[in-house]
Chains A and B, each alone.
Chain A
Amino acid sequence: MPALVAGIHAKTMRRVVGKASKRFALAWMAGTSPATTAGVFLSLVIFAAPALADEAFVTAQGADALSIVDLSKMQTVATLPIGGKPAGVAVSHDGARAFITSPEGKFLTVIDAATRTIEKRIPIEGGPLGVAASPDGKRVYVADLYGRRLVEIDLANGAQRSVGVGAMASGVAVTPDGKTIIVADRDDNALSMIDAATFSRVATIAVGKHPFGVTIDAAGARAYSANVESDDLSVIDLASRKVVATLKCGSRPYTVALAKGRIFVANQHADSVSVFDAETLAPVQTLKVGEYPEGLAVSGDGARVYVANWFSNELWALDAQTLKVLGKAQTGDGPRAFGAFIRDAD
């Protein structure tokens, strides 16, 4: 129990207490005794909490499925067949939906995250891979690996439009204000900067060799690309559209995540995660993780970093502050989890 309570972050507690308060008011109006009401309150705190745990939506490409991991238990609690070799994932900011790309099946699957059911499949030509949702949840951006384009899907009416980007478009990230989209053009060794309103390419920024995963910070000031072939991370100032630093990582860096004022980079060949200070850009530590780490994402409260290990079929939880391994969960075969795969309990 203590571990479980410790795993519930402040926002969740407020939500639980908020719900309990409503019940308290109802019970009071119905004339229930204070003792019973207190009992209801306590049981709500105890039993409602696990249902509100953060979840990981892990694309298990080999298994052709989505593994949903309860992060308070570090256990796969549901497996959804997806088809088409699912790889990319983006959970909407409100946690209502998850968007899964299937590059071989050429479609995007929209998942109702709460009921864990497939809402719809949207065909996308080419090889849909990297995916990100607009902060308001109204649009989804999908990189077509083979078609040199980024596709925008308007979820209200299903309309699609695309903008030309570079070769082998991979990772996608959106600024918190929703105004700018960054795409990793893998085989061009560059990032494309897209203006979301006009859906046009406003800049290309040369980075290291074969950028794959991209991430943007909470302030919308910097973007980061993990460059697979040059074994480094490019730090980009979005206002000036320039690389301001290049950080040496382990062998084959693939994805990047930000938590607790630190930068985390998954190194596929090194079976490790490189950690840097986001302010000074100095290396902090290199953590050994499972075999062939791929997707990286952060818990809703920023306290934990999760890494999907493709070879060993595991999701590992790391403490973003202490940098200790907190737990491991088995997933379906070949977890990629390429994108923002955490569903915040709030």
Chain B
Amino acid sequence: MRKASVMIAATRLLILGAAAGLAVFLPIAAFAAHGASPLKVVETTIVDAPPGKVWAVVSDFAHADWLPGVARIEASGDDVPDQARRKLIMVDGGVIEELLTKRDAERMLLGLHREGDDVKRLPATNYTALITLRPAEGGKTQVEWKARFYRGYPNNDPPPELNDDVALAAVTAMQRAYLAALKAKVEGK
């Protein structure tokens, strides 16, 4: 029993070590190890502009420099799902890489997957988002930004700083900031 728990502890260290190693040497890992319980956050806002105008901004995957904290963007893949990638070069020098997974102009739906995880920046892993636009009253647009992700710790019994609640709070705050920035960009404020 004692041997087993030592082994589990060792495995945990190994996983943490591997995660740290990935963060330093391989920031672009397509899929990280994750546990058994995906989390979901759904945030919405109303933008005072018609859906077509909002879609023009949301769907421009390669030029989303309106995202908070982004200094500039390097993009490739011509907005083709599962090929197009963008590097968000952050004001603080960090880099976030995202893959476009869906771009449906008819349904006004954009999907993306964050490639590689940095739990220091966002205490969550395997972040996938789906942004959907729907017509709202008065010619306005409802924007829904929902995400699927896992907590920052890839195993059971997470440390308090990498548990579900921390991940949920961080993603909620991030998506609210994204929606506020989108609203400001489209409404010209």
Contacts and interface: CB of A to CB of B under 8 A. Distances in A.
A35 to B, nearest CB: 58
A312 to B, nearest CB: 10
A62 B38 CA distance: 8
B36 A129 contact: yes
A127 B36 contact: yes
Interface stretch (B27-35, B57-65, B67-75, B175-183): B27-35
B76 interface: no
Nearest to A336: B38
Interface string B134-167: 0000000000001010000001100000000000
Contacts of B36: 85, 87, 103-104, 127, 129, 145
A271 B40 CA distance: 17
B40 A127 contact: no
A271 B107 CA distance: 13
B67 to A, nearest CB: 22
Nearest to A251: B82
Interface string A119-155: 0000000110100000000000000011000000000
- Identify which of B30, B113, B148 gathers the most chain A CB atoms within 10 Å of its CB: B148
Contact of A168 (B33, B40, B156): B33
A126 B35 CA distance: 11
A229 interface: yes
Contact of B111 (A103, A106, A269): A269
A165 B39 CA distance: 27
A169 B39 CA distance: 20
Given A103-B36, A210-B31, A229-B31, A311 B156 contact: no
A126 B148 CA distance: 23
B46 interface: no
Contacts of A145: 35-36
Interface in A281-324: 291-292, 310-311
B156 A104 contact: yes
A127 B37 CA distance: 10
B122 interface: no
Interface in B11-31: 30-31
A61 interface: yes
A299 to B, nearest CB: 27
A344 interface: no
A228 B130 CA distance: 19
Interface string A48-67: 00000000000001100000
Contacts of A146: 35, 155-156
B44 interface: no
A333 interface: yes
A334 interface: yes
B101 interface: yes
Interface string A78-91: 00000001010000
Given A62-B40, A87-B36, A145-B36, A126 B31 contact: no
A19 B37 CA distance: 44
Given A61-B37, A311-B40, A292 B148 contact: yes
A187 B102 CA distance: 26
A251 B40 contact: no
A229 B156 contact: no
A3 B101 CA distance: 38
- Identify which of B37, B39, B82, B101 gathers the most chain A CB atoms within 10 Å of its CB: B37
Contacts of B156: 103-104, 106, 126-127, 146
A334 B30 contact: no
B41 to A, nearest CB: 10
Interface string A173-207: 00000000000000100000000000000000000
Interface of B: 30-31, 33, 35-40, 82, 101-102, 111, 113, 128, 130, 146, 148, 155-156
Given A146-B155, A229-B31, A311-B146, 15 more contacts: A61-B37, A85-B36, A85-B37, A87-B37, A103-B35, A106-B156, A127-B36, A168-B33, A210-B31, A269-B82, A269-B102, A269-B111, A269-B128, A292-B130, A310-B148
19 contacts: A62-B39, A103-B35, A103-B156, A104-B156, A126-B156, A127-B35, A145-B35, A146-B35, A146-B155, A146-B156, A168-B33, A187-B33, A229-B30, A251-B82, A269-B102, A269-B111, A292-B130, A310-B38, A311-B146
Interface of A: 61-62, 85, 87, 103-104, 106, 126-127, 129, 145-146, 168, 187, 210, 228-229, 251, 269, 271, 291-292, 310-311, 333-334
Q: Which 9 A-B pairs have the closest CB atoms?
A: A103-B36, A85-B37, A129-B36, A127-B156, A269-B101, A145-B36, A127-B36, A104-B37, A62-B40
